[in-house]
Amino acid sequence: MNRKKVFIAPTTHWDREWVMTKGQFQVRLVRLMDNLLKIMDDHPDYRFLLDGQAIVLEDYLAIRPEQRERLSLLMEEGRLVAGPWYVLADQFLENGESMIRNLLVGMETVRDMRGRPMMLGYVPDSFGSIASLPLILNGFRIPFATFGRGRPKWGADLAHYEFWWEGPAGSKVLAANHGYNHGVFLSYPDIWTDIMQQASLNPDPDETMARFLEEAGSQGCKAATSNLYFSVGIDHMEPRKSLPGLMAYINENQEKYELVYGTPEDYLNVVAEDARHLSVYAGEMRGSDELPMDLVGTLSSYMPLKQKNDRCEILLQREVEPLWAMASAASGASYPKGLLRHLWKLLLANHPHDSICGCSVDQVHKDMLNRYEEIEHTGAYLIKDGLHELISAIDTTGKDHDAVAVVVVNPLGRTHSGPVRSLVRVPRKFKYDAYTLIDDQGRTVPSVIRHIKDKNKDLESVYMTAEMLSVVISKDADDERPDDQVFTVLEVDFRATDVPEMGYRTYWIKPGVQAEAAPSTVTLCENGMENDTIKVGFHPDGTFELAYKRTGRIYRNLNFFVDREEIGDLYDHGEYVVSDERDSRSCEADWRLHEQQPDRIVFKADMMWELPEASGEDGRSIQSKKMRITMFATLHANTERLELIVDLDNVCEDHMLRAVFDTGLHAPTVAAFDHFHVVERKVRNVGEAWRDEPFQEFVDVSDSKEGLCLSTKGLPAYEAVNGSSGTRLYLTLLRSSGSVGQAAGANYPAPGGQCPGVHRFEYTLIPHEGNWLQGDCLGKASDYRSSFLVEADVQHEGKWPSTGSFLSVNPTQENNLYVSCLKQAEDGSGWVVRMWNPGEDGHVQVRSYLDIRDVRLAELDESLKDSVRSIEEGFPITAKEILTLKIVEA
């Protein structure tokens, strides 16, 4: 009789850091790999799956570099299998471009070791999976995926482990819902007893075979074909030398199954050949009301980590990379590929699901913050160098010879207007009592420009950023020092207008008092402020109302706070049967004018809120503490958004704090952007269990006629609830808990998870007409979340004009494209620009200053898709498609 094939995948699930630090786990990893190599020497047919990630290879070889050739040979033979990922990230807490880089770096790392990356989206322990995972996997020619958490249901229309998982834009993978460790009993009969006792080291063959037959029979009931798959490994556990003998024993003593070594890719290749009429599922894997997913509290644990991560993603993706693409092309300066690769690896090393999720012991998160800070400091320095290289190629000559140039760089893929508030370094003496800013037409631009410092040019200061010069204690320049031997640090504050996409605009600063400018479009009004489209009125309870003049809609009761108990842990929120929730509208807030400039008005309010000191199993404590909250509300001229900053000192423990917005709109779903896709999620009903949902860039409430969009800087968790007055949107600011939780196998103390001390939260409200697409929510959120880059220089000639666009991608359809990257190609042979089409089918036209030899369509892995096209032809782009172009200069 034909035996059913059972693919056995010896593996380990390697959390690089979690309940131990990276260094502590590295000690265990070296022991694991050394042991593995002995097993592989003794059993030439033995194969091992290195948990779908490549970073473990680097961690091992950092300690055992002499084993590189040995590992490379095993990988070349296909016996040691790694990738496609660099790390097993939490999908919802890294953005779409980071996920692409995770695959690019992971696959390159494996290939550098002469291996073949596993061509399967291996996400066995991710806390849910994004709806666009098939789209991204297909961009790397990956046809399969295996996942653990988040399955929405078992039923007649989704009855098997295996099914077709459809993503946006026609993408599709063959998916299997096995997770990992369901075959661990073949090496570890009982993981909750002493695993070093003889009964565990040398399992009884008959008992093991009996358990295998039971498990195989159970799995067979839910398998779409006769083929089965067993993952033999669990968190950080070493491979056992007993496995080959047990497999041989089972094969020899029963005739129903044939056990063979194989990866999940091997298994799904066979399933693809045998399967008929598989079910089809489209959407994200976040569980359902029918089959809830656990561990959803990780979206809001250790919120400072999420904020730092968002800042570092923006820094690398939207600032350093596009700036250096422009600078290298303009000046011929070498693109800093090695430095960027180093920073990317640091960032990705923070993305594993137990790291970025904030559910590890405190030292792990301290180590993560150190990595983020290295990225921030190094990235800021690369921006300084990139700006200087770019500006050297720009013609900064102006009509007034006494002026100095200020170049504003827009790395975004859309023309952008917005605030410029920065220090700049002028490479000459330029100290005056007053300054005037003019544009390329000689018009005065309303501005506030202040002299900060004069510093000596010398061996050290020539390498300093403007920020460094502004704080260095020494090197003050005296009045006698020659003009060209001085750095002048200025603070510039103005609104830049229509800075071209992936381009720049030059302004000039000249000495003298500004001429009177046209009246500002942002003004004070009764109890608040207004511009041409938005009017804001502040209330004594700390809330405000926002009137959107285009539609006449008034959004009331915005931005109050609610605080409830937290008796859960870093993995999951826990609350009482009847929640003890406090409302900040019981406090008084003294809104007052804080700042008024030609381009903006800022109101400020302080509030003291008395809250329970902590929460316990029996209730919130009688003792209380006063938490100071300071709010800033900023309205810019000619901008359709209200920006908010909340500063607070978290003096309480075991609580969850959220900002609340009563939209007054009746909407059955909200739209949330996530990884090149906008997910429509159901609005929950009052009284249902709390459940944070993830988003990136924006979440939008709309009744299709008008809407209110929320965008944040590093706050990824929201909840939308239906009430009698419409949809209420909650934004989680803090979730304080002092223990990791039993989901870690043992509950560890984590006092840092209480997030004590001072915090700053930044977010914006964007009213609009129509739905999220008609209201350009993605573009407007991107404008808010991205900053201009700016630097000053003396006037000089250059090959590029004073204002221009390095590259523009213009769609023929009305909807704006979302550009996620501009970077050097991985092989160094050109430039890569990637964009996502949120709207209908259309066409993309490319324009550039470069002398372009050709533009090619590419996959996400940057392999080329078609023949050479001329730049005049343009490129079709379908709805919801990611389009990657490779541009090669002549």
Interval 386-434: pLDDT, tens: 999 999 999 999 989 899 999 999 999 999 999 999 999 999 999 999 9
Sheet containing strand 4-10, edge to edge, reads 228-232, 4-10, 257-261
- Strands 144-147 and 120-123: what pairing? parallel
Mean pLDDT along residues 317-344: 97
Q: What is the rounded CA–CA span in Å between residue 531 and residue 521?
A: 5
Q: Residue 874 above 90 pLDDT?
A: no
State the pairing for strand pair 553-565/544-548: antiparallel
And the tokens for 246?
A: 């047990």
Q: Average pLDDT for residues 93-121, to the nearest whole number?
A: 98
Coil vs helix vs strand at 729:
strand
In the chain, which segments carry CATH 1.20.1270.50?
298-393
Alpha carbons 820 and 139: distance in angstroms, whole number = 15
Instruction: Give the integer Cα–Cα distance in Å for 76 and 117.
Output: 10
Residue 1, pLDDT score:
64
Question: pLDDT by residue (tens digit) across 3-54?
Answer: 999 999 999 999 999 999 999 999 999 999 999 999 999 999 999 999 999 9
Q: How far is CA 576 from the centre of its chain?
A: 32
Share of the chain above pLDDT 90, in %: 91
What is the rounded average pLDDT of the residues 730-740?
Answer: 98
Average pLDDT over residues 122-136: 97
**Better pLDDT: 870 or 811:** 811
Spacing of C-alpha 36 from chain mean position: 35
637-664 mean pLDDT: 97
d(CA 153, CA 173): 18
Residue with tokens 């059913």: 4
3-class DSSP state of 315: helix
Residue at token pair 């991608």: 809
Instruction: Single out the residue of 244, 98, 179, 104 nearest to residue 821, CA to CA.
Output: 98
Cross-strand partners of 608: 628
Check whether 276 has a pLDDT greater than 90: no
Question: Of 57-66, 273-282, 802-811, which one has max mean pLDDT?
Answer: 57-66
Alpha-helical segments (H) within 43-139: 55-63, 68-76, 96-112, 133-138
Contact 820, 452 (CB under 8 A): no
Q: Where do the CATH 2.70.98.30 domains begin and end in the chain?
A: 523-774
Residues 558-610: pLDDT tens digits? 999 999 999 999 999 999 999 999 999 999 999 999 999 999 999 999 999 99
Whether the Cβ atoms of residue 413 and residue 847 lie closer than 8 Å to each other = no
- Angle subtended by helix axes 303-314 and 337-349, to nearest 10: 160
**Which residues fall within 8 angstroms of residue 472, CB to CB, at 6 or more apart?**
455, 461, 464
- pLDDT band, very low/low/confident/very high, at 868 (cuts 50, 70, 90): low
In this predicted structure, what is the pLDDT of residue 614? 97
Q: What is the pLDDT of residue 186?
A: 97
Q: What's the rounded Cα separation, in Å, for the pair 634 and 604?
A: 9
Q: Which amino acid is at 107?
A: M
* Those residues with Cβ within 8 angstroms of residue 774's Cβ, 6 or more apart along the chain or in another chain: 768
Angle, alpha carbons 554-560-561 (nearest 5°)? 155
Return the percentage of the chain with pLDDT > 70, whole number: 99
pLDDT higher than 70, residue 869: no
Find how far residue 149's CA is from the centre of its chain: 20
For residue 849, the model assigns a pLDDT of: 80
Give the count of alpha carbons within 13 A of 857, CB side only: 16
The segment(s) of the chain belonging to CATH 3.20.110.10 are 4-290
Is residue 223 predicted with pLDDT exceeding 70? yes
Q: Is the pLDDT of residue 283 over 70?
A: yes
What pLDDT is stored for residue 515 in this prediction? Answer: 76
pLDDT band at 540 (very low <50, low <70, confident <90, very high): very high
Pick the CATH number of 523-774 from 3.40.30.10, 3.40.50.10490, 2.60.120.680, 2.70.98.30: 2.70.98.30
Question: Does residue 492 have a pLDDT over 70?
Answer: yes
Can you tell me the distance from the alpha carbon of 485 to that of 488, in angstroms, rounded to the nearest whole number?
Answer: 10
- For residue 705, the tally of other CB atoms under 10 A from its CB is 12
Considering the domain 405-518+788-793 in this protein, what is its CATH number?
Answer: 2.60.40
Instruction: Specify the CATH number of the domain 806-890.
Output: 2.60.40.2220
- The pLDDT, as a whole number, for residue 470 is 97
Cα 222 versus chain centre, distance: 35
Q: How far is CA 274 from the centre of its chain?
A: 38
Separation CA 464–CA 334 (nearest Å): 20
> Which pLDDT value is given to residue 753?
98
pLDDT of residue 870: 67
CATH superfamily of 4-290: Glycoside hydrolase 38, N terminal domain (3.20.110.10)
How many of the other CB atoms lie within 10 Å of CB of 577?
A: 4
User: Domain 298-393 is classified in which CATH homologous superfamily?
Assistant: Glycoside hydrolase family 38, central domain (1.20.1270.50)
**In this structure, what DSSP letter does residue 179 have?**
-
Tens-digit pLDDT profile for residues 139-195: 999 999 999 999 999 999 999 999 999 999 999 999 999 999 999 999 999 998 999
- Identify the DSSP state of 890: -
For the chain, report the end-to-end CA distance as a whole number of angstroms: 64
Q: State which amino acid sits at residue 742.
A: Q
Residue among 630, 628, 600 nearest 536 (CA): 600
Which residue from 615, 729, 625, 717 is spatially nearest to 670, judged by alpha carbons? 729
Q: What are the residues whose beta carbons fall under 8 Å from the beta carbon of 412, sequence distance 6 or more?
A: 318, 501, 502, 782, 783, 786, 819
| Digit-coded pLDDT (tens) for 792-826 | 999 999 999 999 999 998 887 676 899 999 999 99
850 pLDDT band, cuts 50/70/90, is confident
Measured distance CA(880)–CA(600) in Å, rounded:
36
Work out the pLDDT band at 852, boundaries 50, 70, 90. confident
Q: Is the pLDDT of residue 623 over 80?
A: yes
- Please state the rounded mean pLDDT for residues 323-350: 97
- Tokens 């630090």 sit at which residue? 21
Encode pLDDT of 688-733 as tens digits. Answer: 888 899 999 999 999 999 999 999 999 999 999 998 889 999 999 9
Helices (H), 393-460: none
Q: How far apart are CA 808 and CA 498, in angstroms?
A: 14
Strands 642-650 and 615-616 come out as unpaired
